[in-house]
Each structure stands twice: as C-alpha cells, then as structure tokens.
Structure 1
Amino acid sequence: MLLLGSCFIAVVNETVMGVATAPLMREMSISAAQAQWLTTAYMLTMSVIIPMSGFLIRRLSTRTLFAAAMSVFTVGTLIAALAPGFSILLVGRVVQAAGTAVLSPLVMTTIATVAPPGQRGRLMGYVSVVFASAPAFGPVLSGLVLQWLNWRWLFVIMLPIAVLALVVGVWLMPSVGVRRRVRIDALSIVLAGFAFGGIVYGLSAVGSLAVGAPTLSPWIPLAVGGAGIVSFVWRQLVLQREDRALLDLRVFLRPTFARSMIVFVASSVSLFGVLFLLPLYAQNVLGFGPLVTGIIVLPGSIVSAALAPVVGRLVDARGGKWVLVAGTAITALSLWSMLLFGEHTHIAQLFATNLLMNIGLAGVFTPIYAMALGSLPASLASHGSATLNTAQQLAAAAGTALLVTLMTLFSVRHGGVQLAESPAAMVAGLRVAFLTSSLIATAGVIIALFVRETPVQRTAGAKPV
C-alpha cells in the first residue's frame, strides 16, 4: 500500500502541469511548444531512467530503492518550488522524473513476482485505481491552487507529503525479492539517452519550422535518435547473452507480450498528447479558468478509478483479450468524437467525451499489464515491467511532441504566425492533432484483436531479504 501511495503522489505531480500550462505560458511568455517540455522532458527522463530499474530492482532491496527514489523526487520538488524561471523549473521537473521513474516498475515487478496468477489481475486493478484516480485529483488540485495562488504552490504543497512518504517508507517498508550482484552497462544508458532524446527532441523541433528557423535542424536529432535506437538494440542483443542487458529483449519473443506492447504504445501515443492539448483547448479556445478546466476531467477519472478493480476481477475471471478490445474501441470512439470540437463547444460535450475516454481507458491498461507480464517467466518479470514502463513514457513523450507539433504547424498555416494562437487557428490545428490521434488509436484496436493470452506459471516465489 505504501508503494501504491507513493505512486499516487508521483502521478498527481505528473498531471498537475496540464492545467498549469496556459497560466505558465502567459506568466513566462513562452509558446505551447516550449511549455510542453515541462511534460515532455518529464516523460523523456522517465523513459531513459526506467530501463535502469530492472538492474536496480535486482541489485538493491525494496526499502533501499524506495528510499533513494523518493529522496530524488523530493529534491526535484524542492528545486521546482524555488525555481526563479522556466529553465530551473524544467531542471526540477527532470529531477522529479528521475525519482518517479523507479517507483512504477518497482510496484509492477513486486506484484508480478509475489502475486499468484489468479490474483494478478485484481492487484493490477488496484494499481490502475492509482493511475486512474491520481489524474482526477491532479488537475482539480492544480485548478484550486491556480485559482488563488501561483504555480509555485503546486510544488510547495507536494513537499511535506513527499517527505512524509519518505520517512514512513524507510521506517515500515519490507524488502522482497532476491538481490543479485549485477553490473550495469553505462554505454546502454548513453545510447538510450541519444535514442529517446533524439526522437522526441526532433519531433518537437519540427514545430519550430512553422514559426521561424530552429536553432538546430530537426532532421539531425531525428537521425541521431534513429541511429541511437539501432545501436541500443544491437547492444542489448549482445549483452543479453551474458544476462547483463539493460532491457532484455527476449521479452519480445513472447507473442502475447509483443502484441500487447504494440497496443500499449499506440494507446500511449494517441492519449497522452490529447491529455496535454485538452486543457489548452478549454482555456485558450473556450475561455474556461484553471478550476473549471480541472473539474472537467474529474467525473471521467473517478469513473475510470471505480471501474479499475472491476476490470481487474473480470480479467482474472474471463481473460483480458476482449476487455482490451472493448477498451481500445471505446477510447478510439472518444478520440474520433473530438473532431466535433469547435470554438463554441458546450461544456457538457467536453464532460461526455472525457467520460467516454476514461471508460475506455479502464479497459486498456489493466489487461495489457496483466496479459503482458503474465506471459513472462519470473526471470524476465523485471525486464518486462521496465520495458512496458519505458515504452509508455517514450510513447507518451513522442505523442505529446508529435501532436503539439501538428497543432502548431496547422495553426500557423490557418492563421499565420501572428494569429496562430487565435481560437479559430487553434481549432484548425487541434483538429489535425485529434485526427492523427484517432487514427493511431484505431490501429491499436485492430492489433488488439490479434493478442493471445499465454499465462506462465511461476515456480519461484519471492524471498525476503
């Protein structure tokens, strides 16, 4: 429960920035392309750090790893709270992400290792409650704070909670798992940084072509990222022969894991960029304040959190495939309906669309985690968890960068540089972004039809250390 509570804090911290983006753009005189880095850099950092979690989970005790992760998160929160401007705030977000990156894989691996197959879906449902309810709390908290205080208080409020979680965790956290002496490959970390960072930065930089010459051609980081991915994969294939891979790619030899991963990536790319754009649409086009914007997402997130344990039990009882198909289909339908958004959309339509999207989400991530991790032997569980979480963060960062870039490009094409942030121009850009998201989500539905469940019975349980 302590791990779940800490994950809740971390996810709340990740989601508070969505509602804060528009006020930050005004206060710091930055564009949407710049502001999105507060979210994108967070997810990008997680995508680079998470591959290390497999090594860390095998090398350190649960208590030690938890204490280290929460300490880093707390330091990052302090930096963000004291930040004098955008650059230092961005540094604080990156440090926060470095701590958060370890928490989710730690939870997933602990459940996958300790829980018997018949209970795994139910426990993953509890995890989904955290990931569904935290996004409901985060935007509302952000809206309440920004209604009367400035953005800095978003981090000031988080500080004592993070410190309390750290102290209680060090005191009460039990240690599970078997520690092994394993070495980490520094070259793999460097290659991951170039690969993931190059792709995401390149996608973001494409948008700057619309408003002027970028400081660096976007094709350069995209090429570096592509070369980095090829090099990273090659390095892991070499290292896994000695059981030293940062991410053991043998997880992809399991068809259930591989196909679930594709659906996972498609869902993350299509959804996370939309979750960044919706608050901008609500505030900059429809003129809602931060509090109303936060409340708009509340009903959907509450419903998603309430459905998560139900979905978990359904996955345990009936299997996850058709739950996944239904979840991806409902989510895709909600994204297609966003093409109807305009300059005068009624708030009820926003509520309904967000509610539909969250109902679909409840049926996406729980069966994916249960089926993907359930198809792996215990020896690959930590690598499977790290791979899923890395893919989610990288896909989310790339999806956000891609959709913001498309919005920027087509907003400028519609209204020119001077009128790119006018409501009409933003709607034109947003519709292209929503269309792209809908097409990707629809591809995920099709792939979900071909996912097969192949659970593995684990013969070795966890041992206390």
Structure 2
Amino acid sequence: MNASGAAASASQPIGDVKRLPILISLMIGAFFSILNETLLNVAFPELMVELNVTAPTLQWLATGYMLVVGVLVPASALLVQWFTTRQMFLGAMFLFTVGTLVCGAAPHFSVLLIGRLLQAAGTGLMLPVLMNTILVLYPPEKRGAAMGSIGLVIMFAPAIGPTLSGLILQSLQWRWLFFIVLPFAIFSIVFAFIYLKNVSQPTKPKVDVVSIILSTFGFGGIVYGFSSSGESHGGWASTQVFVAVLIGAISLLLFVLRQLRVKEPLMDLRAFRYPMFTLTTVLLVIMMMTLFSTMSLLPFLFQGALGMTVFASGLLMLPGSLLNGLISPLTGKLFDKFGPRALVIPGMVFLVVIMWLFTRVDLDTTKMVLLALHICLMVAIAMIMMPTQTNGLNQLPQHYYPHGTAILNTMQQVAGAIGVAFFISIMSTGQGRYLAGSSNPTAPAEIAKAMVAGVHNAFVIGLGFAVAALVLSLFIKRTQGPTMK
C-alpha cells in the first residue's frame, strides 16, 4: 500500500471517532504497565530473604523484564498491522493483568519470574500501540499536545514507582505491590472495552519468520548482554556477556541486511530515508544514554556516598520526575505552536549546563542543591524528548507509522540497557582507581570519596554525550508531513 492510499483508508473513519476517550483508555493502561517497571526494585532485599534466592538470581526479575520488552517491541510493527487497535490493546492489558495476578500469588521465585515476563509482554506491546494510535488519530499540527500527554504517563509512572513502593512496603507485604495494581489493570480493560475504538484496519502483511528470529536474537542478545554485565562475575570480561553481545551484534547485522532486501520487512528501515526521523533516532539514543547516566548514578551517589536510605533518595528524585511529567503536555502545546527548535535547542543548552554542574557535585553538596539540579535536569529533558520524537515521526508517511514507532521504542530500550551498563561500569572503574591509590581503602570516608570520584567520571562522559546532542540539535527543522515519496 502506498502512502496516499494508506492515509486515505485510515482517515475515512477518523472524523467520526471521539479522540479523548481513546486517549484516556490508552493512558490508563500505559500508566500502570509502565509503573510496574520500577515498582518492584525497592522490594529486592525483602524478596531475597523471603524467596531464598541470591542477588544475581533475583536480578532476573529486572533483566528478564527488559529482555522481553526489547524482543517484543520490534515485532510490534508487524503485530500492529495484523491486529486491530482494540485487539492489540486488550491483548496487551490481558497479558499484563494475568502477569500481575501470577506475581501477587507466586509461591516461589520461578512463578514470580513467569508473572514478571507476562507483565513485560503486555508492556512491550503497549507503548507502540499507544504511539501508533496517536499518530493515526491526530494530524501533525495537533500531535505535540497528544504526545505530551504520553510524556506525562511515561515519566510520571516510573517516577512515583520507587516512592510508592517504599510507602507500601512500610506497612504491607511485597505481594501488595501487585494486588494494589490489579484492580486498576482490570478497570483499564473494562474502560477500554467500552470506549476504545479501532482507528486503523489490519493489512496483514506477510510474516517473515527469519526476520523475527534474527530480531529476537539481535535485540535480545544486546539487551541481555549489557543488562547482565553488572551482575556477571568478571563484568565485561565475562564469557556470558561477551557471547550474548556477540550473538546479538551478528544477528542484528543480518537482521538489518534482510530488512533492506525483503519486500515486506518486519521493521522497515527505509524510514531512515527521512532526514528528521534519522536525526530524531540519533538524538533519542544519545538522550536516553544521558538520562540513564543520571537516573542510574544518582541513587549510588545518594545512598553510597551521602548515606541516604532508598526511600529518602526516592523522595529526593520524585519532584523533578513529577514536574517532568506535568510539564510534558505544556511542552507538547508549545511544540504545536512554535515548532521543535524553540524548545529543543534551549533545552539542550540547559542540559549541557546542568550536566556540567553535576560534575562539580561532592560530599559537601547539600540536598537542596541536588534537588534543584535534578529538577532542572528533568525540565530540560521534558523540553527535548517528546518534541524531538513528535517532530521525527511527523515526517513519515502513514504506512511507516508502525515501523517508525517500533524503531524509536526499540532504540530507546537498547540505549537504556547499554546506558545503565556503560555508566555504572565507568563509575565502578573510577571508584576502583581511587581506592587503589588510597592509603586506607577500607575507611568509610575513603569509600564515600571513591564513590564520588566514580560518579564524577561517569558524569564527565554524560556531559560529552550532552554536548554531542546539542550540536546535532542545531540541525533540527520543523516537519509537517512526508517530504519524500
């Protein structure tokens, strides 16, 4: 189907569809599925004792989650074209709800892991459906506000996860982390069943089994390898990590070559012919790396160097993350009115300054300064992320929407996995180097200073990424629709 044909077929019924109930249906489901990504991590110490498992084993609850999402998102481009909006959303929420119930009732670790993987399958299918539906529902000149609403959910949900988890665990058992989410997940299914309408017709393209296999091993290997590098004995030198990344890299190369040759690719990489979409992809990868350099490093700084509790560090990071979510709809509206350059370039300048200030943090830095820095960081990210993403997707013809959303979501998952492993590795190396030169490496004061030194090293690299993103942002231009055939 060509671009004009796809647009015509999809635009016919859209005028009769009420957009707001559909958007609310999708946002409710997305909120609770994304919330669950960060809800469980705080409970890990308690789970280790109750389930009688080691930390590396328990870490599979997080690594397995990322792995399933990383594998499923690329396939979503095909699934979105095979099933209706209602089928995809309700199927994703059903998987998530069943997984939540299994987790809550899990008698031992293996059942809990199965439940988490079911939850991850639901989440992996949710985001592409959410973004693809908004691209179909809203014309380019109104997409900024709608995508900003998604930004509210994507940032707000994981932001309150650790804090909410800490509050629940103060008075209730870890199972309530799932039992409290369960009624909301069921409500989301009922609400969507009543209000969610189909906004696109399945075209049912040919299923390329070889591409699915290569995609699974490619993205799965990369995500698993980088995610497990911090857990494996030997780190990056671990055979497990090396083999996983090597298999992933080779499979990914073969996957890319196949997508450029087959008539109906699983993930159509010809979307990269559109310059603003290509720029968006590169910028988002760099931004995810920068974001994870801070989101993964700050808890180490707060807890390892400054001696804060998990709950206290979660509270310190909560205001910035909440503000990021709350102003995302505003930045979306400003994007619709003024275009990307008015937001993205100042946001990038702001980001570079903040990352530089993070490299100056030490043991004497007050909590108020850290709070202010984190708030400024999250405001800068709100000015950059959704406007950049919306601008890039706006340039694509409609038949590329499933592929464009799948590409961006996949690259963000991969960048997230690589970012966490990469920056924690830099931090650990800097920490080890400081202690190696210390006269008393076992002293608590020296250990705290070593943590700060390691975090500094990682923030310097993060600053480099931010500067690179600023240079690239100077080339961003407003797009209103496809400019190529």
Q: TM-score range by the shorter chain?
A: 0.7 to 0.9
Q: In structure 2, what residue type is equivalent to 1:301?
A: S
Match of 2:371 among 351, 361, 379: 351
TM-aligned CA deviation for residue 218 of structure 1: 3.3
Alignment counterpart, residue 294 of structure 2, candidates 254, 265, 274: 274
SS in 2 for 1:46: helix
The corresponding residue for 1:334 is: 354
Q: Assess, with a 3 A threshold, how the Cα gap between structure 1 residues 281 and 151 changes in structure 2: closer, same or farther.
A: farther
Is the partner of 2:180 in helix, strand or coil? helix
2:372 counterpart letter in structure 1: A
Whether 1:426 aligns to 2:451 is yes
Q: Which amino acid aligns with 1:306?
A: L
Q: Following superposition of structure 1 onto structure 2, how do residues 132-211 of structure 1 map, counting pairs within 5 Å? A: 132-204=155-227, 206-207=229-230
- Quickly say closer, same or farther: Cα 1:214–1:22, change in 2 above 3 A: farther
Q: Deviations over 1:385-407 (max 9, x none)?
A: 11111111111112112223333
Unaligned runs of 5+ in 2: 1-23
Residues 199 and 51 of structure 1: CA distance in aligned 2, closer, same or farther (over 3 Å): closer
Q: Bigger shift: 9-18 or 212-221?
A: 212-221
Structure 1 residues 135 and 220: alpha-carbon distance in aligned structure 2, compared to 1, 3 A threshold: closer
Residue 248 of structure 1: which of 268, 273, 284 is its match?
268
Q: Is the 8 A contact 2:225 2:244 kept in 1?
A: yes
Structure 1: distance between partners of 2:117 and 2:243: 23
Matched AA of 1:444: A
Measured in 2, the distance between the counterparts of 1:34 and 1:333 equals 40
Check the 8 A contact 2:152/2:326 in 1, yes or no.
yes
AA aligned opposite 1:268: M
- Structure number with greater Rg is 2
Tell me, yes or no, if the aligned pair for 1:146 and 1:291 is still in contact at 8 Å. Answer: no
CA distance in 1, matches of 2:292, 2:449: 23
Letter in 2 for 1:67: L
Deviating more after overlay: 186-195 vs 351-360: 186-195
Contact (CA 8 Å) 1:208, 1:214: kept in 2 or not?
A: no
- What are the residue-to-residue correspondences of 1:385-400 with 2, within 5 Å? 385-400=405-420
- Conserved? CA contact 2:227–2:417, under 8 Å: no
Q: How far apart are residue 298 of structure 1 and its match?
A: 2.3
Match of 1:305 in 2: 325
Answering whether residue 393 of structure 2 is matched by residue 373 of structure 1, we say yes
Displacement after TM superposition at 1:130 (Å): 1.6
Q: Deviations over 1:65-84 (max 9, x none)?
A: 11110111122223333445
Highest relative contact order (Cα 8 Å, sep 6+), 1 or 2? 1
Q: CA deviation at 1:97?
A: 1.5
8 Å CA contact 2:66–2:413 kept in 1: the answer is yes
List per-residue Cα deviations over 1:285-306 (Å, max 9, x = no partner). 3232333222212221232223
8 Å Cα contact 2:236-2:242 kept in structure 1: no
Note the C-alpha offset of 1:125: 1.5
Residue 227 in structure 1 maps to residue 243 in structure 2: no
Residues 259 and 213 from structure 1, CA distance in 2 versus in 1: closer, same or farther, beyond 3 angstroms? closer
Provide structure 1 residue ranges, at least 5 long, that are not aligned to the other structure.
459-465
The one of 292, 295, 302 equivalent to 2:315 is 295
The residue type paired with residue 175 of structure 1 is: N
CA distance 1:427–1:70, change in 2 (3 Å) = same
The residue type equivalent to 2:480 in the other structure is P
Note closer, same or farther for the CA distance 1:290–1:451 as it changes in structure 2 (3 Å cut).
same
Alignment of 1:15-94 (within 5 A): 15-17=38-40, 19-20=42-43, 38-83=61-106, 89-94=112-117
Instruction: Report the Cα offset of residue 187 of structure 1.
Output: 2.0
Number of matched pairs:
453
The one-letter code of the counterpart of 2:383 is G
Residues in 1 aligned to 2:207 and 2:401: alpha-carbon distance in whole angstroms:
18
Partner of 2:20: none
Q: Is the 8 A contact 2:63 2:224 kept in 1?
A: no
Q: What SS is found at the alignment partner of 2:207?
A: coil
Offset from partner CA, 1:371-394 (integer Å, 9 cap, x none)? 111000111111111111111111
User: Could you tell me how far 1:208 is from its partner in structure 2?
Assistant: 6.2
| 1:125 alignment counterpart | 148
